[in-house]
Structure 1
Amino acid sequence: MTTPLTLRSQAETLAAHLPPLLAEAEHLAATVLLGEHGRRRAGTGDTFWQYRPAQNHDAARNIDWRRSARSDARFVQDKEWQIAQSVVFWVDQGAAMGFHSGDHPTKGARARILAMALAVLLIRGGERVGLTGLRLPPRRGSAQLQQMAQILSEQATTDHAAPALTGMLAHSRALFVSDFLGDLDGLRAALTRAADRGVKGALLQVLDPQEEAFPFDGRTIFQSMTGSVSHETLRARDLKSRYLDRLAARKDALAQLARVTGWQFHTHHTGQSATQALLWLYGALERRR
């Protein structure tokens, strides 16, 4: 039987991840000076947007006579389009995302912060956010952000994870964040499913600078984060050109996969500004609304 003391201890342990993650996400979101997210279009709503000259098809009841009295033309009020959209996230929680070099954050930490900061911006703009799968369907509100932070603080037991095929609403938008260095079959299946449902979105590849530079020489042991894969070489420099060629081929494959499914693709390094990556993400989803 669980005692109140044990329950409180478990709750405090579970909540320990949330304040730092949400606080950092809020701070990052605050560095991006944006208005309401991409909803400023004429359509159904109660909020005034703009005046426009009346046209032949406009009924007399729609004329704003007070505004029209100030000029020789007749004007109509346009209301702002206010249909909330849904954005679903997938952030790779595989052990490989725990890699980092030097003082750089882990790939997983940067991926989580970017996803959460974007979710903050979207919810501020009236959108609904959620996660792929069935654990967190898209909703609004601060409670949704807290649940999202809690789930994203978990970690898979395998080196690489794959997006869930469920939870992507038709004609919604999506963001997948990973290093995308594992098997791409799961990603292909998810993007194919998304394309079939009219879901558009963005792929953000997060890499450590060391994974781009391959600064290894001499005897080196390469090992996956779980220790399930290991390779030892006495001349690591001899592997550099082949490694860089394969990395370039992987990026080309991801870019091609994004193109054929109507998504955006971008590579971000943990040594770069998180704000720049957040701006790219915001713009990528904005272009696909």
Structure 2
Amino acid sequence: MAIGSTVELTTGPDALLRARARAALLPDLLVEAQRVVASVAAGWHGRRRRGVGENFWQFRPFVEGEPVSRIDWRRSARDDHVYLRDREWEAAQTVWLWADPSPSMLYQSKTASVSKESRALVIVLALAELLARSGERIGYPGVMEPVLSRNAAERIATALFNNRPATGFPSDERLKRHSELVLVSDFLDPVETTVERIDRAARRGVRGHLVCVADPAEEAFPYSGRTEFRDPETGAKLTAGRAENLRAEYTTLYRAQRETLADHCRHLGWSFIPHRTDRLASEALIAVHGRMSGVPQTVRQRA
């Protein structure tokens, strides 16, 4: 059960009002995403991959069996080794981006300056901006077909403004082999359900990245005394006379769910990136971009 004090229901006029409120935020979120990209993008040159292209990437030692025509004789003349000149891969790849529109993403505690939904959208739009600069093809399941465009982030924001995305996990029908999928969500559904969904995408040959967004209160469980909890998905309520007595069990279950998802992602060759809304959005952007570029995840965010 997600934790919340004020929530909106997903049906009827409440859903329409929420959709309108979400759309009204998109221009500001796009500006915020562009600001985040500007703060981290200096000196970045796309996702570094060896392949067919025009731009120089690196020198590396010659290995027997490789084409002699790729030897860089000028560099090799500097010492006793023979070096090849690698070029950077320039073929566009399709990357699907998705921010969870579920009601639980609306949650924002007093210790966070933004909701989970706002942060998820900023991460998605910032990543679209960054990947578009690298020449990737960007799409948004159920909202926008993949496009190869420098203004992909703006086009996603416009599409989300004009189209209310369906709640629930995105369909995998359009996902093609060798494409990539970035899912930004709180992943509070039953872990078995999430595992089943990502397994379907993995069987299609898709490489995935889960950015798990959490409000700091969801991790710390700072509640005490008589507290009412409401599930934003169903409206169900739970009243605890002494909420602090639930902290240990809640924390154990919450962390176990996170660890199960992280372990399953590692098994699939996917990445799992935790992110809290009281941290900078740029941290999540750098982390997911690094994983997409093949940089190992060596630092975990502290709870």
Please say whether Structure 1 and Structure 2 have the same fold, judged by a TM-score greater than 0.5: yes
Is 1:115 the equivalent of 2:124? Answer: yes
Match of 1:7 in 2: none
Check if 1:101 corresponds to 2:105. Answer: no
Cα offsets for 1:193-223 (capped at 9, x unmatched)? 2211221121111111111111111111101
> 1-side partners of 2:290 and 2:71: how far apart?
35
Q: Deviations over 1:228-251 (max 9, x none)?
A: 221112111111111111101111
State the distance in 2 between where 1:286 and 1:49 align: 14
The equivalent of 1:138 in structure 2 is 146
2:282 aligns with: 275
Percent identity over the alignment is 36
CA distance in 1, matches of 2:139, 2:226: 45
Conservation of the 8 A alpha-carbon contact between 2:215 and 2:276: yes
Deviates more, 1:211-220 or 1:184-193: 184-193
Contact 1:258 1:265 in 2 (8 A): yes
Q: Check 1:165–1:71 CA distance in 2 against 1; reply closer, same or farther (3 A cut).
A: closer
Offset of 1:107 from its aligned partner? Answer: 0.5
Is the contact between residue 48 and residue 293 of structure 2 (CA under 8 Å) also seen in structure 1?
A: no
TM-superposed CA distance for 1:91, in Å, is 1.2
1:219–1:64 Cα change, 3 Å: closer
1:148 aligns with 2:156: yes
Q: Does 1:82 align with 2:90?
A: yes
Amino acid of the residue matched to residue 255 of structure 1? A
Larger Rg: 1
For 1:117-196, list aligned pairs within 5 A. 117-133=126-142, 135-152=143-160, 161-196=168-203
The runs of 5 or more residues in structure 2 that have no matched partner are 1-19, 296-303
Check conservation: 1:163, 1:190, Cα contact below 8 A. no
1:27 to 35, 38, 42: 35
Aligned residue type for 1:108: E
Q: What is the SS of the residue equivalent to 2:147?
A: coil
Instruction: Give the distance between the partners of 1:166 and 1:91, measured in 2 at CA.
Output: 18
Q: Which residue of 2 aligns with 1:6?
A: none
Work out whether residues 84 and 127 of structure 1, in 8 Å CA contact, stay in contact via their aligned partners in 2: yes
Look up the match of 2:211. 204
- Secondary structure of the residue aligned to 1:204 is strand
- Alpha-carbon shift at residue 183 of structure 1 (Å): 3.0
Partner SS for 1:19? helix
Which amino acid is 1:250 matched to?
Q
Q: What stretches of structure 1 of length at least 5 have no aligned partner? A: 1-11
Q: Residue 231 of structure 1 corresponds to which residue in structure 2?
A: 238
Aligned counterparts of 1:146 and 1:34: Cα–Cα separation in 2 = 22
Taking structure 1 as the reference length, the TM-score comes to 0.80
**TM-score normalized with structure 2 length:** 0.76
Summarize the Cα distance change of 1:226–1:48 in structure 2 as closer, same or farther, 3 Å threshold: closer
8 A contact 1:137–1:167 mirrored in 2: no
SS of residue paired to 1:31: helix
- Provide the C-alpha distance between the structure 2 equivalents of 1:140 and 1:173, rounded to a whole number of angstroms: 15
Are 2:247 and 1:240 equivalent residues in the alignment?
yes
Q: Is the 8 A contact 1:17 1:150 kept in 2?
A: no
Distance in 2 separating the partners of 1:263 and 1:275? 21
Displacement, 1:106?
Answer: 0.1
Instruction: Report what 2:68 is aligned to.
Output: 58
Letter in structure 2 aligned against 1:93: P
Matching of residues 246-257 of structure 1 within 5 Å: 246-257=253-264
Secondary structure class of the residue paired with 2:228: strand
The one-character-per-residue Cα deviations of 1:30-68 (angstroms, maximum 9, x if unpaired) are 111342212452x32344556789988435xx7889x69
- Trace 1:253-268 onto structure 2 (pairs within 5 A): 253-268=260-275
The 3-state SS of whatever aligns with 2:68 is coil
Q: Is the 8 A contact 1:223 1:229 kept in 2?
A: yes
CA RMSD in angstroms comes to 3.3
